[in-house]
Copies of this chain bind each other. A is one copy, B any other.
Amino acid sequence: MAHTIITIDRQFGSGGRELGRRVADLLGFAYYDKEILKEIVKKTEFSEEYIRDITEKGPISLFPITYSHSFALASDPNIEMAGDVYSAQTSILRDLAEKSNCVIIGRAAGYVLRDLKPIRIYVYSTLDSKIARCKERDKENMTEKQIVKMIKRVDKQRKRYYEFATGMEWGKLENYDLLVNTSNKDMKALARMVAHYFEEE
């Protein structure tokens, strides 16, 4: 039997990771987020830092000026290394998805696993709501200006990575099954709602 795969893309500070974790708990599904990074480290022997960097931002070329020319990419060792990481990530995502029902955070997994028909969720919220969430968490020692800068920077990276990996637009309706605005919402209630998406007939 095919497993139920839930993939979650999320804006930084929108609480997508918390939502995913809660949905996984409610449904008894496996939850994969940072675990995937560790698996790629094992498989490729590149450093965790390097892998995190290129799987969050997309490949970094030695020759950025020629970035869009494939003949240059082919002869750029940085791009070749990145290619090894991406193919390791794809194979790990497939292994996890084939093992059991699961929730997978980020990594353009909704696209990578598209033949397994995952339910693709996009989690977002207003900037104010993201700032409030960041303040609540582990960012107490940052100014609001720094928080806003961080939110924008991370979302820009996520958007760039998604578009690099899929050729499609991050957060565009047609690439998702359900888009959830978490602003001013109780995360437990939202998680219960999302879990009901998977209720048996």
- Which A positions have Cβ atoms within 8 angstroms of B? 122, 124, 126, 171, 173-174, 176-181, 183, 185-186, 189-190, 192-194, 196-197, 199, 201
Please give the distance in Å from A14's CB to the nearest CB on chain B.
11
Whether the Cβ atoms of A181 and B171 lie closer than 8 Å is no
Task: Tell me if A's interface is mostly helix, strand, loop or mixed.
Answer: mixed
- A183 contacts across to B, CB distance below 8 A: 177
**Shortest distance from the beta carbon of A197 to any chain B beta carbon, whole Å:** 5
**A185 and B183 alpha carbons, distance in the complex (Å):** 26
What would 11 A/B residue contacts be, using CB atoms closer than 8 Å?
Answer: A176-B179, A177-B180, A177-B181, A177-B183, A177-B185, A178-B180, A178-B181, A189-B201, A190-B197, A193-B193, A193-B199
Determine which of B126, B174, B179, B199 lies in contact with A192 in the assembled complex, contact meaning CB atoms within 8 Å.
B199
Docked-complex contact B193 and A197, CB < 8 angstroms: yes
Given A124-B173, A189-B197, A189-B199, output 4 extra A-B contacts at Cβ < 8 Å: A173-B181, A177-B180, A178-B178, A178-B180
For residue A188, which residue of chain B has the nearest CB? B201
User: In the complex the two chains form, what is the Cα distance from A11 to B201 in whole Å?
Assistant: 26
Measured between beta carbons, the chain B residues less than 8 angstroms from A177 are: 180-181, 183, 185
- Set B174, B179, B196: member contacting A173, Cβ < 8 A: B179
